[in-house]
Chains A and B, each alone.
Chain A
């Protein structure tokens, strides 16, 4: 596989990387200048041709999502999702803290393409530095004429504001995020209507993840073909993989989609600590099914991970060595989802709690065979029967662990 220079993470290790002067010195906002001379429909076509898919977890084709935005609606919005909370994921925080202008440039180009004149940045309340960096970046962009009225003489207007969340994982789900932006409890909305039809204040709204937006300037500057030449058939471009757990060099690694898990773990993240073997891997964040060490040759792409019974999710790879207690891992993940359930629908609210009770007993060594059976029954019952995807995300770790590591559960009774 061809070697790739960092693109999305090219700036993050430079001194003063977050400052607009640094960004401009390395070609920042050149893509915006180019984009503002292109007709919006050409930009949408370019993003479609690039094959870019959303980097927030669902992997929906970005250009198609843009095309869903009604062309004739008088008021449209762009909402930027910086609510990174999927356990194992720490890429968006890095970009926001160290290279906020790369996202902002993507925001302005995207807003121009879909005809939005107002963008809302939603950011996790815990990201205090990220909030400061977003605000400073936006403020400097106004001063340089990249935001506000008649941007760079193009006639295009755009205003952007920053909105802090306040500690709720579910607000990373796009409709819950819109509720939160409106100043309400972050309870997901029914879909349809999708945000492209009725989003923020019932107006057509494009919701986009930070890493997705950071890709846009590069696609504009280098062209759709540059992007679509990287990756696999259905997963194009570069992806930031967040590697954590029992590896020697945890961190963010920007690599082509389709890079094999073993290359990410052994070549980039320095292999497993103390030379141990791998027991299990979570390939795409806590809500994606756990896989065993046998799957380590799987390419990290949407279609290949799906075929392997799991998902790319946010690209958050959590590596667990052969000494890991899988009952405790599943208990911990389940506790997270139970804590973060918005409480709106019963399978997630009550079912999650019941699953956790069984897991607590099993982890403490006070459980019985019945606890394993009840756990499996509950997980199977919750799956696909919740209002939003979080319920399914909650049971995937449980069901996959029971399938792959059942003996560990049995040993505890």
Chain B
């Protein structure tokens, strides 16, 4: 986790007195275990940081990158921003990927491999259309490049 990496190279740093500021980092760690935030994970995070479960839920639910529901092994997030739209992306990419996988935005394939989502501007307007798969950004998308990306993911063991 990022904050651990940092504290590792940050010997002698001012110790953060406010545990609460660790909440987002802690939620990322919790989410990495199961792909989403389980009730138990929320409870554990709350206990460690001296917060109530509802304080943790309240914060987590504000941020779109924290999930309260299970997702597929690969999460595909298609940018719906203006520049992607102007470059024949956005809905067109959503439809193309959706047709390939047989799912609509918000859905997960029955084998649990893929979840399709739409997201707001990914700051790839100069290389639109764009989408993210898990932690990787794919730019200048075309039907052929989307085919390649999906085939490679399907081929992964």
Contacts and interface: CB of A to CB of B under 8 A. Distances in A.
Interface of A: 84-90, 92-93, 117-118, 124-129, 131, 135, 138-139, 142-143, 148-149, 159-169, 180-186, 201, 242-246, 250-252, 282, 286, 316, 318, 320, 324, 328-329, 332-333, 335-336, 339-340, 342
Interface residues of B, number: 49
A124 B86 CA distance: 24
Given A166-B28, A182-B20, A88 B64 contact: no
B125 A242 contact: yes
A163 B86 contact: no
Q: Name the residue among A92, A148, A245 with the largest chain B CB count within 10 angstroms.
A: A245
B27 interface: yes
B6 A183 contact: no
A331 to B, nearest CB: 10
A320 B86 contact: yes
Nearest to B8: A139
B128 A185 contact: no
A192 B15 CA distance: 28
Given A88-B83, A138-B9, A183-B22, A250 B63 contact: no
A178 to B, nearest CB: 10
Q: Name the residue among A169, A184, A335 with the largest chain B CB count within 10 angstroms.
A: A184
Contacts of B110: none
B154 interface: no
A268 B4 CA distance: 43
Given A245-B86, A318-B86, A183 B18 contact: yes
Interface string B99-139: 00000000000000000000111111111100010011100
B3 interface: yes
Interface of B: 2-3, 5-7, 9-10, 12-14, 17-18, 20-25, 27-28, 49, 58-59, 62-66, 80-83, 85-87, 119-128, 132, 135-137
Given A159-B14, A163-B24, A184-B59, A139 B65 contact: no
Given A128-B136, A250-B125, A340 B120 contact: yes
Contact of A139 (B5, B12, B58, B62): B5
A245 B13 CA distance: 45
A348 to B, nearest CB: 15
Contact of B62 (A124, A148, A168): A168
A125 B128 CA distance: 20
Given A89-B125, A318-B83, 19 more contacts: A87-B81, A88-B83, A90-B123, A125-B65, A126-B132, A131-B2, A139-B6, A143-B9, A149-B12, A164-B25, A166-B64, A166-B65, A168-B63, A181-B21, A182-B20, A183-B21, A183-B22, A244-B125, A328-B85
A244 B123 contact: no
Contact of B126 (A138, A143, A243): A243
Contacts of B120: 85, 87, 169, 336, 339-340
A119 B20 CA distance: 17
Contacts of B25: 163-164
Contact of B64 (A167, A183, A245, A333): A167
A164 B28 contact: yes
B125 A87 contact: yes
B130 to A, nearest CB: 10
B23 A159 contact: no
B24 A318 contact: no
A201 B12 CA distance: 20
A90 B20 contact: no
Contacts of A184: 20, 23, 59
Q: Top 7 closest A-B pairs, CB basis?
A: A183-B23, A166-B63, A167-B64, A244-B125, A167-B65, A185-B62, A244-B83
A165 B24 contact: yes
A93 B117 CA distance: 22
Contacts of A181: 21
Nearest to A148: B12
Contacts of A84: 123
Contacts of B22: 183
B125 A318 contact: yes
Nearest to A159: B13
Q: Name the residue among B6, B22, B66 with the largest chain A CB count within 10 angstroms.
A: B6
Contacts of A143: 9
B2 A186 contact: no
11 contacts: A87-B125, A88-B83, A90-B127, A124-B123, A135-B5, A182-B18, A183-B24, A183-B59, A184-B59, A245-B82, A324-B86
B2 A164 contact: yes
B13 to A, nearest CB: 4
B126 A250 contact: yes
Contacts of A85: 120-121, 123
A87 B80 CA distance: 10
